[in-house]
Structure 1
Amino acid sequence: MPIPKWSIKGIVDEYDTCGCCGRRGLKRTVALMPLDADGNEDGTAEDVAYYGTSCAATALGWTQGKVTDTARAAQAQQDQRDDYARRMISIYAPIEFAPIRDRARVYYGRNRGQRDTGVKASEEVAKLLGKARAQLADTTTGAARPSRIEDFRRYLVLFSREGHIYRVEQVPDDEAGRQAQDSAAQRHTDRIGGSLAVVAALDAESAREVAYADDLTREWNTHAWQAAHA
């Protein structure tokens, strides 16, 4: 069986022109990474070609349906990696330059099985952040995504009486909006006997993880937000 010349990386909305036939106005294109003679990826984001599904099917020798399904699955995996990267940055970027003891407490608190195993928390934090930033900087299937502490947004987290997250809301940029949100949230938490917290993160799902984290993680999260907006 011949080795394919391309690997599908995902679906792209930003390119509406097929790189094979030149057709324009496409709703989406398929990102194709070239492969070498052994079937290994042979290039970077700059080498990716963007084909319409019909041309991609011809290039791969597949049906259009298989191309579409494979591209959607690949994009879903890419999105999952992005989600994980945002969570890692939202948790660990604020402690990147914290004292070694604090980095260790945060890392081992989340990875208890690695305590006393010789794994160095500071090195692991650096690795996690490096991989996460590289993931969000990858432009194979779209523009680079926000990855800096300066890109964090504040989120208001509402907890139930039992300590479960009930709702997460992005904090408005304007003072009037913040006051209105604060008043409404306080009335609601008083009604259900819950509590409130404000955390900074790259997205709402990451905010959930920060809100559920330990006190030290949240302390450094607040410190990082204040330092970035001083």
Structure 2
Amino acid sequence: MPIPKWKIKGIVDDFDECGCCGRRGLKRTVALMPLDADGNEDGTAEDVVYYGTSCAATALSWTQGKVTDTARAAQAERDQRDAYARRMLSIYAPVEFAPVRDKAHVYYDRNQRQRNTSVKATEEVAKLLAEARAMLADTTTGPARPSRIDDFRRYIVIFTSDRRIYLVRRVPEEEAKRQEQAEAAQRRADEIRGSVLVVAALDSEAARDVAYSDDLTREWNTKAWRAAHA
């Protein structure tokens, strides 16, 4: 079987013109990364081309249905990697410049099997942050995504009495709405005998991760938010 010349990286909404036939006004295009003779990716985001599904099918000698299904699967995988990157940044970016002892505490609390091993928390945190930032900076199937602490947004989290998350909502920008939301959240927490917490994160799923973390992680999360908005 001949080695394909392209690898599908995902579905793109930002390019509405086929890079093969020039057709315009497409609802979406398929991102194709060139491959070398051994079937390995041979380029960066700048080398990716964007074809309509028909031209992509011709280039790959596939049916349009297979192209569409593969592109959707690739994009879903990309979205999952992005979500993981946002979680890693929301947890570890606030402790990037924290004292080594605090950084180690945060890392080992989440990776307890690596405690008392040769794994160095400072190196692992730096690696996780670098990989997460690179992932969100990749423009293969869309523009770069937010990745800085300045991009964090605050989320209000309501816990049940047994410390399960009941609700997560983004905190409004306007002071009056923030106050209204905080009062409503506290009333609801009182009704279910729960509690309220506010954390900063890149999205609501990452906010859940921060909310469930240990006290020191949340302490540095609050410090980072305040420093970024001083």
1:110 alignment counterpart: 110
For 1:146, give the aligned amino acid.
P
Q: Which runs of 4+ in 1 moved over 3 A?
A: none
Distance 1:157 1:187 in 2: 13
2:128 alignment counterpart: 128
2:32 alignment counterpart: 32
For 1:154, give the aligned amino acid.
R
CA deviations on 1:142-163 (whole Å, 9 max, x unpaired) are 0000000000000000001111
Alignment gaps of 5+ in structure 1: none
SS of the residue 1:20 aligns to: coil
The alpha-carbon deviation at position 179 of structure 1 amounts to 0.8
2:162 alignment counterpart: 162
2:18 alignment counterpart: 18
SS of the residue 1:54 aligns to: helix
Distance 1:38 1:188 in 2: 59
SS of the residue 1:24 aligns to: coil
Distance 2:140 2:6 in 1: 14
Alignment gaps of 5+ in structure 2: none
Distance 2:105 2:183 in 1: 35
Distance 1:183 1:140 in 2: 43
1:207 alignment counterpart: 207
Distance 2:160 2:170 in 1: 18
2:90 alignment counterpart: 90
The alpha-carbon deviation at position 186 of structure 1 amounts to 1.0
TM-score by length of 1: 1.00
For 2:158, give the aligned amino acid.
L
CA deviations on 1:167-216 (whole Å, 9 max, x unpaired) are 00000000011011011111111111110000000000000000000000
The alpha-carbon deviation at position 45 of structure 1 amounts to 0.1
Distance 2:197 2:189 in 1: 11
1:77 alignment counterpart: 77
- Percent identical among aligned pairs is 77
How many aligned residue pairs are there? 230
TM-score by length of 2: 1.00
CA RMSD of aligned residues (A): 0.4
Distance 1:23 1:176 in 2: 49
